[in-house]
């Protein structure tokens, strides 16, 4: 084993992380950005990456959440992307939801990691507003599930699940479903993200002494879990699928 090679790789990794920790649009504190061909921080991954890096730099874990809360719109929408500091063209992404890991969950773990009660309260309120936005705009079929409007909603670029479907929403507005294909889809993965967020919201509320809200989120998450199984699970082949507007499974088993 070449110890020097391992050491060099380790030092290169630390150097890359340091380079990727930088300022982004409209927010004063440095955040850990994606790096490479992705100039900015993404909702689907940035909070989780910040949480992990926060074991060494707690301030970054907090910043990688607060940057999204800082840019949250009054209606509750969280930008799916915040571009680098000097970006001028569409610095705040709004054409899709593009969520994978529940930001409420990583915010809860960050609050526990850094022991910041004020951050926990701030994150709780922001994540409640986000959940309500999703319920208002991504539950158009009234099933209680979170709907996919476009390919980029799930962050799975070029996925066959979305063959023939627009990559983003019209007018860069994630609340508008394209009038193409058999949209909207009931999406099991997006719904699972909402489920995980509600489980975390229940724990956040309990920690903050909001017992009635904690119970409400617990019940809401369980209802959603059952509906994911009811609508998206096919017991014949033990798989979860998207369900199109004609209530047919999109039988794509993976991306």
Residues in a beta bridge with 148: 185
Averaged pLDDT, 12-27: 96
**Residue whose tokens read 């993200």:** 193
Report the half-sphere exposure of 103 (CA within 13 A, side-chain side): 32
Percent of the chain with pLDDT over 70: 100
Mapped onto helix, strand or coil, the DSSP state of residue 25 is: coil
The set of long-range contacts for 139-143, using a CB threshold of 8 Å and a minimum separation of 24, is: 140/177, 140/184, 141/184, 141/186, 141/245, 143/186, 143/227, 143/231
Assigned token pair, 133? 């936005």
Instruction: Tell me what pLDDT residue 34 has.
Output: 95
Q: Is the pLDDT of residue 102 over 90?
A: yes
Give residue-wise pLDDT tens across range 62-72: 999 999 999 99
Query: What would be the CATH architecture of the domain defined by 3-250?
Result: Alpha/alpha barrel (1.50)
pTM: 0.96
User: If DSSP codes are grouped into helix, strand and coil, which group holds residue 112?
Assistant: helix
Quick check: 179 and 85 in contact, CB under 8 A? no
Which residues, other chains included, contact 135 with Cβ-Cβ below 8 Å and sequence gap of 6+?
none
Read off φ and ψ for residue 219, nearest 5 degrees.
-65, -40
């Amino acid at each position: 084993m070449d110890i020097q090679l391992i050491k060099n790789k380790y030092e290169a990794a630390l150097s890359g992380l340091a380079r990727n920790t930088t300022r982004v649009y409209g927010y004063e504190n440095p955040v850990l950005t994606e790096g490479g061909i992705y100039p900015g921080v993404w909702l689907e991954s940035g909070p989780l990456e910040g949480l992990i890096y926060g074991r060494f730099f707690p301030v970054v874990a907090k910043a990688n959440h607060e940057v999204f809360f800082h840019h949250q719109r009054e209606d509750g929408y969280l930008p799916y992307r915040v571009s680098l500091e000097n970006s001028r063209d569409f610095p705040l992404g709004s054409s899709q939801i593009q969520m994978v890991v529940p930001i409420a969950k990583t915010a809860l773990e960050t609050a526990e990691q850094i022991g910041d009660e004020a951050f926990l309260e701030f994150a709780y309120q922001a994540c409640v507003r986000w959940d309500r936005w999703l319920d208002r705009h991504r539950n158009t079929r009234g099933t209680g599930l979170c709907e996919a409007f476009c390919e980029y909603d799930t962050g799975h670029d070029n996925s066959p699940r979305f063959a023939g479907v627009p990559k983003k929403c019209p007018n860069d507005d994630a609340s508008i479903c394209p009038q193409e294909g058999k949209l909207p889809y009931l999406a099991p993965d997006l719904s699972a993200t909402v489920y995980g967020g509600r489980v975390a919201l229940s724990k956040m509320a309990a920690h903050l002494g909001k017992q009635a809200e904690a119970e409400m989120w617990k019940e809401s998450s369980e209802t959603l879990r059952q509906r994911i199984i009811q609508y998206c699970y096919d017991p014949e082949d033990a798989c979860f699928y998207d369900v199109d507007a004609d209530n047919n499974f999109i039988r794509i088993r993976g991306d």
